[in-house]
A = this chain, B = another copy of it.
């Protein structure tokens, strides 16, 4: 069951599938032709950050597959599953214009049929940071992504560095299981004023939208200190903290971590990442900045 959607580049169309079986049939045909498959799993409500992932996949593969699935397993019981923004029509036209070849939009029942009971967990990298406030979240992410990988067989999969812990967890899963997929992190994309792009930004009131800028401003301050030679983790954290305090925000976490395995770092030696999560009004926002990386 699929439908074709006109694509911006003449002569091509984006195929849309809502069934695992028919998607698999289509993709295995392409696989047998030796085509490289790039994959971008999303929860929809797409913004320019997502479209940059499509571009990264486009650059690395001959076929680009995206999925739009708001995965219930990665939401906690008190979280925003029901009101998570949905805009399938908008997503379809954005993806088609961005050069996506295949879109997978399964129902919850298609992804988790009755009797579904398999769970995948990455134990260490899922602990702390977002894992502390959202205890089942990453198990939901790894379970759905492994199922999607098994269906799509991507050669390369692209995730945003905005969700840095998620990216690390998924990289670890792919490495541990020996999956034939290269997990790529794509740079965080910001609004012109610095706010990290997120589907949840639509929740922010105009006032909270302004206060939220303290996150990126704080990380920029930390980055400037790092550029000036500061290596003490506490000093970098304080620089970011000062901006949050100024607008009355309290971070859920604001931590310096190893950029590869997310272990806590007291000093910014080697590649590190300064990560922040902060509730602004009722909206939980994430941001981070990577420092000391040779190339990004």
Which A residues are within 8 Å of any B CB, using their own CB? Answer: 20, 24, 115-125, 142, 146-147, 150-151, 153, 172-173, 176-180, 261
Q: How far is the CA of A147 from the CA of B175 in the complex (A)?
A: 10
Q: How far is the CA of A183 from the CA of B180 in the complex (A)?
A: 21
Copy number in the complex reads 2
B173, A118: Cβ atoms under 8 Å? yes
Q: A118-B142, A147-B178 are in contact. List 11 more A-B contacts (CB 8 A).
A: A115-B172, A115-B261, A116-B176, A118-B120, A119-B120, A119-B122, A119-B123, A120-B120, A120-B121, A150-B177, A150-B180
20 contacting pairs across A/B (C-beta < 8 A): A20-B178, A117-B172, A118-B120, A118-B123, A118-B142, A118-B176, A119-B121, A119-B122, A119-B123, A120-B120, A120-B121, A121-B121, A146-B177, A147-B177, A147-B178, A150-B178, A150-B179, A150-B180, A151-B178, A153-B180
A118, B150: Cβ atoms under 8 Å? no
Chain B residues with CB under 8 Å of A172's CB are 115, 117-118
B176, A147: Cβ atoms under 8 Å? yes
A117, B176: Cβ atoms under 8 Å? yes
Closest B-chain residue to A112, C-beta based? B176
A125, B120: Cβ atoms under 8 Å? no
Chain B residues with CB under 8 Å of A150's CB are 177-180
Chain B residues with CB under 8 Å of A122's CB are 117-119
Cβ-closest 8 pairs across A and B: A118-B176, A150-B178, A117-B123, A117-B124, A150-B177, A151-B178, A119-B121, A116-B176
Q: How far is the CA of A118 from the CA of B150 in the complex (A)?
A: 16
Chain B residues with CB under 8 Å of A121's CB are 118-121
Q: How far is the CA of A262 from the CA of B160 in the complex (A)?
A: 41
